[in-house]
């Protein structure tokens, strides 16, 4: 996927979201650190362009991970919610959906911040190989991969350029 493909996928997800909820009333977008954050902002901008402003926040799931001892943490990012999530629909936004463990941690993190009416999941890429019963509500692209392949997502705000690449590990 190049930058234009990513842009089109985000626009389509914005439409799907507004169609499903008949507007953006009661929605909050919540970007999962690191690359979910600029994706959530881009998605919020796309939704606003359709005439429906939507609040956007960010969440770092570092303290909720189940593999702290196995994989050292990088520095923690910020968690901020622009509005009270209680009785609203929180849409988690992340770059790649893989095992589902990040989203499991994000669900715990959101529960600690309040009690949303519902939680949905938007991802730019679903590469399969789930280890938990988690499924996305909005998908930029289904990307069937094998386990020895590596999916790299770059987002302009973090990496300079934007796109999705699949490489076979050496």
Partner 1 sequence: MSHLLTVEGLPREEIEEILDTAESFMEVLERDIPKVPALRGSTVATMFFEASTRTRLSFERAAKALSADVMTFNPGTSSVSKGESLKDTALTLQAMGCNLMVVRHQAVGAAHRIAEWVDCPVVNAGDGAHQHPTQALIDCLALRRRFGKLDGLRVSVVGDIRHSRVARSDAFAFTAMGASVTWVAPATLLPPSLEMFPVTATADLEPQLPDSDVIYLLRVQSERGATSGLPSSSEFAARYGMDLDRLARLPSEAVVMHPGPINRGVELAGAVADDPRSLIVEQVGVGVAVRMAVLFRLSGGQL
CA pair distance 1, 95, nearest whole angstrom: 13
Q: State how far the alpha carbon of 166 is from the alpha carbons of 39, 97, 169, 170, in Å.
A: 19, 14, 9, 13
Measured from the CB atom, is 112 or 148 closer to partner 1?
112
CA distances from 26 to 5, 18, 21, 60, 141 (A): 28, 11, 9, 22, 26
Contact set for partner 1, span 97-126 (CB under 8 A): 108-109, 112-113
Under the binding rule (CB under 8 A), the answer on residue 80 touching partner 1 is yes
Alpha carbon distance 164, 84 (integer Å): 33
Contact string 10-49 vs partner 1 (x = CB under 8 A): ----------------------------------------
Q: Binding segment for partner 1 among 24-32, 69-77, 91-99, 160-168 (CB under 8 A)?
A: 69-77
The residue with tokens 């169609």 is 19
Query: Least distance to partner 1 from the beta carbon of 100, Å?
Result: 18
Residues engaged in binding partner 1 (CB under 8 A): 60, 62-65, 68-69, 71-73, 75-80, 108-109, 112-113
């Amino acid at each position: 996927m190049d930058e234009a493909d990513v842009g089109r996928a985000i626009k389509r997800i914005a439409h799907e979201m507004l169609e499903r909820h008949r507007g953006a009333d009661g929605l909050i977008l919540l970007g999962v650190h690191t690359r979910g954050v600029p994706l959530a902002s881009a998605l919020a901008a796309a939704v606003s362009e359709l005439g429906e402003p939507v609040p956007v926040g960010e969440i770092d799931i570092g303290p909720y991970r189940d593999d702290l001892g196995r994989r050292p943490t990088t520095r923690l990012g910020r968690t901020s919610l622009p509005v009270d999530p209680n009785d609203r629909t929180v849409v988690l936004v992340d770059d790649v959906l893989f095992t589902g463990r990040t989203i499991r941690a994000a669900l715990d993190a959101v529960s600690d911040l309040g009690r949303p009416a519902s939680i949905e999941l938007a991802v730019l890429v679903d590469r399969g190989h789930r280890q938990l019963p988690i499924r996305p509500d909005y998908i930029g692209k289904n990307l069937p991969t094998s386990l020895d392949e590596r999916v790299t997502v770059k987002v302009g705000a973090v990496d300079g350029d934007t796109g999705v690449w699949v490489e076979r590990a050496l």
